[in-house]
Amino acid sequence: MDIFHVMLIFGLATSLEVGIAGAGPPPVFNVLNFGAKGDGFADDTQAFSKAWAATCLATTGPPTMYVPKGRTFLVSPITFKGPCRFQKVLFQMEGTLIAPNDPRWWKGIDPSRWLQFQHVGTLNVFGGGIINGRGQNWWKQSCRDNPKPAITFEDCNDLWVRDLQSVDSPQVHMLLFNCQRATLSNLKMVAPELSPNTDGDDCISIGDLVNDVHIDQIVCGPGHGISIGSLGRYGSAASVEGITVRYSNFYGTTNGVRIKTWQGGKGFVRGIRFEHCNFTKVDNPVIIDQYYCDAPGNCPPQNINAVQISNVTYANLYGSSSTPVADIFHIMLIFGLASLLEVSIAGAGPPPVFNVLNFGAKGDGFADDTQAFSNAWAATCSATTGPPTMYVPKGRTLLVLPIIFKGPCRFRKVLFQVEGTLQIAPNDPRRWKGIDPSLWLQFQHVGTLNVFGGGDDCISTGDYVYDIDIESIICGPDNGKREGKDSGIG
């Protein structure tokens, strides 16, 4: 009674999380003390409801609702409502919670919720326990018509969920709705690969009106990867920004990191970063799709509004795809901008190499090899896997007339590896009659082109060049780096 003895004439005092010895240890409310059996057969829902009521009404604390280890509790749909009297509440789950295993048991009960926390501030849920949704019989039904997340947090600010395992959820394992400052860590979500409503979908899905989310160190697979969306359905306005996914691993997923929006939507998706991720046998590692549709034939093309996508960065993504590399970057934009930095993902097979000798080049220093070069470039630029390489072999001298290597090419990155010697043909200016002498070898409209293989200067900087940073170069055995140019032509 005398712990807080405050006498104010004019003033304001606030007491937050004050713990003073003498009041006794924080209270713990064990569900067994409220009638729970924990045998996996008796319905313990009422005992859980009573234990929560006592926990939420506690005036000292932080109070703890305790689910003991070594017990299995059958619990029907239940809502743990707040706000509670004490500012911070602990839910320590060391045992196993199981749901009714037959949808017929849910008759007359809202199937959209099983375990729901609502309006509980500063809630900590932890303990190493297991949440078993026993969703096998639900997977036979449409999750679109029978939504049923295993555990839902609604309007729970300053939330902390850690050290739990969710098994065989009927649909979404865990749903957060309108929660601010939430931290989720060391969680394991498990279901069979072919279960349609759990591992058959996204590992993590970011919905509308979400911002400032940091996702780290996720192991995802199988499933559909990590998705932002779908957004903008029925012309709605999306608002998603400040999402970062990093240091995560994807194994055998259909998709890797994905942004998906419907045609006709409005609003924005911006400030998105996918970085330091590794993909192993992932069908489509990187996807931006502004033509998302949930069923073939349901979405005819529309030349109208679209959700604006901007400031999206993919950086330091590595690994392998289970499909041809043409599908690694599946980007369909109506309006938007994305940057790809240091992205290296190998395809299902080695990147193709197009050797000019295989297209008829002689390489003897006498025959005109221009047509062979043109054919080899056409094959390189049309390749759907890659990055494709056009290869000029070492030890050969190839005579080439003026030629234009035109793009854009089908694959985003193209390599042109020259190890042999290209020699201009004809070698007498008088024989250039009717040929534009200002161009010999020209690359035009080719994005992300790498030309390499040896020759003269590694890097040559000519006139009217400024603001160039050159770092981490390995140069040799040619003539090094040079500024300026020689007299004459070279």
H-helix or E-strand containing 46?
helix 45-57
Q: Is 330 assigned a catalytic role?
A: no
Question: How far is 274 from 280, CA to CA, in rounded Å?
Answer: 16
Per residue in 262-296, is it b (16+ CB within 10 Å) or e — as a string? bbbbbbbbbbbbbbbbbbbebbbbbbbbbebeeee
Active-site choice (224, 283, 327, 369): 224
Query: Which of helix, strand or coil describes residue 299?
Result: coil
Question: Which among 201, 202, 327, 369 is annotated as catalytic?
Answer: 201
Computed on alpha carbons and rounded to an integer, the radius of gyration of the chain in Å comes to: 32
DSSP 404-436: EEE---SSS-EEEEE-SEEEESSSSGGGGTTS-
H or E stretch at 79:
strand 78-81
**Residues comprising the chain, all counted:** 490
Return the amino acid letter for 167. V
With a CB cutoff of 8 Å and minimum separation 6, the contacts of 132 are 96, 97, 98, 99, 167, 168
d(CA 304, CA 231): 15
Assign 185 to helix, strand or coil.
strand
Measure the CA–CA gap between 251 and 141, rounded to whole angstroms: 27
The answer to whether 172 and 150 are in contact (CB under 8 A) is: yes
Who's near 52: CB < 8 A, 6+ residues apart? 65, 78, 80
Chain centroid offset of residue 131 CA: 26
Contacts (Cβ under 8 Å, ≥6 apart) of 162? 124, 125, 126, 183, 184, 185, 186, 187
Spatial distance between the Cα atoms of 201 and 224, rounded to a whole number of angstroms: 5
For residue 470 the two structure tokens come to 């050159």
How far from chain centre, in Å, is Cα 197?
19
**DSSP summary character for residue 351:** P
CA dist., res. 458 & res. 66, Å (int): 68
Report residue 57: phi and psi, to 5°.
Answer: -95, -5
Phi, psi angles (nearest 5°) of residue 37: -95, -40
Main-chain dihedrals φ then ψ at residue 127, nearest 5 degrees: 130, -10
The answer to whether 469 is a known catalytic residue is: no
Residues tagged active-site: 201, 224
